[in-house]
Amino acid sequence: MATGGPPSSQGEAPKKVWTTLITNTKYLSGLLTLDYSLKKYGSKYPLVALYTDTFPPEGLQALKARNILVKEIPYLLPSVPKEYTNDPRFYDCWSKLTPFSLTEYDRVVQLDSDMMVMKNMDELMTLELDAPELNGEGNRVYAASVACACNPLKKPHYPTDWTPENCALTSQHKDPDSAQVNGPGSTTGIGLPNGGLVACNPSKGTYDKILETMKDGGLTSSYDFADQSLLGERFHGRWVSLPYVYNALKTLRWKGVHDAIWRDDEVKNMHYILSPKPWDEKYEDIQDETHKWWHDVNNERLKKEKENGIDDGF
């Protein structure tokens, strides 16, 4: 279970929250812009930054200066170490399963800190999901968008079945109108969620199942994508598939990937997967147009923060 009691805040604790994991300051600009974008589009629900003991004091200070709720959590790892030499980011990803344990909340929607909200998506807080008492045995254990299995960068260490033919999103190309409002079936293609956005009703029973799975080295050693592999395998076909607009991976927009369904004006939540991150690039060097969108919002954030006396370099 997460430590440290309720998140640091004043007043009554919220019952529904967005959460995001932060382990170092490399992603802090992303997190601050994510929080700014949630507020910009009028979310009624606060963001809680879930931080591990690797997160430095100056990072915490930056969060508190902006009145972002914080909660310390343990760093989760499987019992048998899994090597992610090709993708070190996956070592941190196990901790993204913590929201399932946060039973002080009725609903948690976990967001990656390299996301940026482009429209209000508060409806995810009332989307029908299994009651906590079902302990992960129901058919709506959590909600997520499907993983894109196209491997557009042709990374050699990705599974061989990660091809456009096996990608669930490819099945939607003939009906792009539907793709804006419906996700493909959760067992379509490789049948995996993308862990960037996961909505759940926290439940001790469900979390116990997750921890039990993490103790099985035979299983975790086969999980190429850490948290999302576990969620896809352990609750196969028993989760709600959301349309891509809630977790719009920047690669989906690329020509020949899923530009057949992508619509700029429908996207609710951009996900800046892979490197470089927008904050690692100068505006004049940007190749991917969606990175310019991030810089525009980030500049707006920085301007407002300076007006409020916050100028700490984050």
Instruction: Look up residue 170 and give its DSSP letter.
Output: G
**How are strands ordered across the β-sheet holding 142-146?**
69-72, 47-51, 16-22, 107-111, 193-200, 142-146, 240-242
- Written as tens digits, the pLDDT of the chain (314 aa) is 344 455 654 567 899 999 999 999 999 999 999 999 999 999 999 999 999 999 999 999 999 999 999 999 998 888 766 564 555 555 577 888 999 999 999 999 999 999 999 999 999 999 999 999 999 999 999 999 999 999 999 999 889 999 999 999 999 999 999 999 999 999 999 999 999 999 999 999 999 999 999 888 888 888 877 789 899 999 999 999 999 999 999 999 999 999 999 999 999 999 999 999 999 999 999 999 999 999 999 999 999 999 999 999 99
Q: Are 106 and 133 in contact (CB under 8 A)?
A: no
* Domains of the chain in sequence order: 16-147+192-307 (3.90.550.10)
Q: Are 7 and 50 in contact (CB under 8 A)?
A: no
Strands 107-111 and 16-22: parallel
E strand or H helix at 232: helix 226-234
Q: Which of 76, 73, 51, 74 is nearest to 61 (CA)?
A: 51
Residue with tokens 């909600």: 143
pLDDT score for 223: 82
Crossing angle of the two packed helices 57-65 and 28-40, in degrees rounded to 10:
10
Biggest CA–CA distance in the chain, Å, is 54
User: Which residues have CB under 8 Å from 206's CB, separation 6+?
Assistant: 100, 132, 135, 136, 141, 200
Crossing angle of the two packed helices 204-214 and 226-234, in degrees rounded to 10:
110
What pTM did the predictor assign? Answer: 0.93
Residue 199 β-bridge partners: 109, 143
